[in-house]
Structure 1
Amino acid sequence: MSVFENIAKKFVEARLSAGSLSEYPGEAPLTLSDAYAIQDEAITLWPDAVAGWKVGRINGADAERFGTDRLAGPVFNKLIRHQTASEMDSPVFAEGFAAVEGECVIIVAEDADPSKTGYSTQEAIALVGSVHTGVEIASSPFSGINDHGPLVTISDFGNNYGLIIGDELPDWDTLEFGRWPFETLIDGQTVGTGDASGIPGGPIESFRFMLENSARRGMPLKKGMAITTGAVTGVHAAHVGQKAVIKTHGARDIDLRLSAVGKFVDSPA
């Protein structure tokens, strides 16, 4: 078993068993290619299909060092849910890391050309089927995942453990993302406000990045996939038992409460 396979196996085992990791399970990756190689190995081990992707930020000196300001992680079919009218139970790793992130979610209109690995902004826009409000559930069994830089984050599924897809944004096709302000509350207290125009290049640049990233890894985007495009109000750490509300102009509030994740078979379908 290779070093990458061993790290991937340990992360997948911890996730499937609802376990925890107090330390990184091996030598941390040193390059983007190594980090994505670990992620790719883990995808092959996970007993569910990729049905979407999360796009996160790489900031500051790391963005200059790695030549990109974004990172990607898979979102699996059984961990994608559509908003209901009631408070939604959202499992996270109780002894790991957990956070909620209000996001604009792009639904892919058509299968991407598997031979195409470069996209212009206009080419990306042509593949946008709709744009929704949503919540990424960021969680990992490794409690220190956000303390060791973007490569460690990439290596464990980009620190993702689910997605809630909310209402379609009204008149989303204008792509005027400043029209849809977000507010995130945890236990009734506002922890962040903003709109997606504050993300460099906005959600469309995140989508363009994901089109290229997935294609170059041999996993081109498919019709109906959901792409989370970046935390609009920030990454808000939370714990089991806490309630979060994500408010977006023109859409219903998304209410959720964090619970302790069970074994994968008990995860929401």
Structure 2
Amino acid sequence: MTSSTRDIAGSFVAARQEARALPDFPGTIPADLATSYRIQDAAIELWPDRVVGWKIGKVPPHLVEALGEERVAGPVFAHNLWIANAGEEVAFPIFENGFAAVEAEYVFRIGVDAPANKTDWTRDEVAALIGAMHVGVETAGSPLATINDLGSTVVASDFGNNFGLILGPEVANWRAKLETGLSCETFIEGQSVGKGTANKDPLDALIFLASHLAKRGRPLKAGQYITTGAVTGVHDIRVGQHSRVSFNGAGDILCTAVKAVANGRRL
């Protein structure tokens, strides 16, 4: 690990802990995802919390060929996992003057540990790892407001642009429902900002993650929660704004963005 890698990881960790926006990327922007994940791994080691899951995001189509991947991953930490109860609004922190968004997600709970060195997976094989599927909302966030504009290597270097997961109800008979498609819609301040449908994408996303984490020496573990991709899109949100994500047949998740506090419990 180079000094630059440690410095970049340390800058992101300090900014997150202090709830402080970063004006620019804190170093040289990684040229490839391998470098980004070295920064991410260094930041995970610095972060004073345990990993309870992983988020999966898409690499923009124009970057796929150059980066050699269609998806990116980042950790979800225990203090940024919230349980959504019916009819109750979840307050989640965002970085003022940083990046913040809500993303409708179908979330797998891993039921058994994945083999440590297995890097090739089929849909049936990853499905066997799954204990349950839930609906959820990823609260995407970074101290760096331009994180998505700067590309996937920057996204991967800062925890995959993740700042939490709001976990909703379990989806019964999830595999059969995926075959026909699961739909949801996201609202901000009462206005619809996106609709989408998930079918085979969540399993394909899990195939990517199972292989990716095995190669990093961090295989999937029982009990981890995996967000499988933004079904309705990535929707910017500001302090004080309210969001509702409606999952057809699986209820609603209500949440509101609040200003992150330095060294707060959720940080």
Q: TM-score, normalization: structure 1?
A: 0.95
3-state DSSP of counterpart to 2:214: helix
Find the aligned partners of 2:249 and 2:48 in 1 and give their Cα distance. 36
Runs of 4+ in structure 1 over 6 Å off: none
- Tell me if structure 2 keeps the 8 A contact 1:107–1:128: yes
CA contact (8 A) 2:133 2:174 kept: yes
Which letter does structure 2 place at the counterpart of 1:14?
A
Q: Which ranges in structure 1 are unaligned for 5 or more consecutive residues?
A: none
Select 2:194's aligned residue among 192, 198, 202.
Answer: 192
Deviation at 1:265, TM superposition (A): 3.6
For residue 6 of structure 2, what is the aligned residue in structure 1? Answer: 5
Residues 1:16 and 2:13 are matched in the alignment? no
CA separation in 1, counterparts of 2:179 and 2:15? 37
Q: How many residues align?
A: 265
Q: 1:132 to 1:70 in 2, by over 3 A?
A: same
2:51 corresponds in structure 1 to 50
Q: 2:110 aligns with which of 90, 108, 111?
A: 108
Which string of whole-angstrom CA distances, capped at 9 and with x for unpartnered residues, describes residues 182-238 of structure 1? 0000000000011113xxx51001111111111110111110100000000000011
Deviation at 1:94, TM superposition (A): 1.2
Aligned residue number for residue 240 of structure 1? 239
Q: Indicate how the Cα distance of structure 1 residues 209 and 34 shifts in structure 2: closer, same or farther if over 3 A, else same.
A: same
**1:12-91 aligned within 5 A:** 12-85=13-86, 86-91=88-93
Choose from 126, 130, 133 the match for 2:135.
Answer: 133
Q: Aligned-residue CA RMSD in angstroms?
A: 1.3
| CA shift in 2, pair 1:106/1:65, >3 Å | same
Q: Measure the CA separation in 2 of the matches of 1:264 and 1:106.
A: 30
1:177·1:195 contact (CA, 8 Å) conserved in 2? Answer: no
Residue 66 of structure 1: how far off its partner (Å): 1.4
The 2-side partners of 1:175 and 1:205 are apart by 16
Identity of aligned residues (%): 43
Please give the residue correspondences for 1:218-229 in structure 2 after superposition, counting only pairs within 5 Å. Answer: 218-229=217-228
Q: 2: CA distance between counterparts of 1:142 and 1:194?
A: 27
251-260 or 80-89, which deviates more: 80-89
| Structure 2 unaligned regions, length at least 5 | none
SS at match of 1:253: strand
Q: 1:170 Cα shift?
A: 2.7
CA contact (8 A) 1:79 1:267 kept: yes
| Deviation of the 1:117 alpha carbon | 2.1
1:257 is aligned to 256
Q: Tell me which amino acid in the other structure corresponds to 1:138.
A: A
SS of alignment partner, residue 41 of structure 1: helix
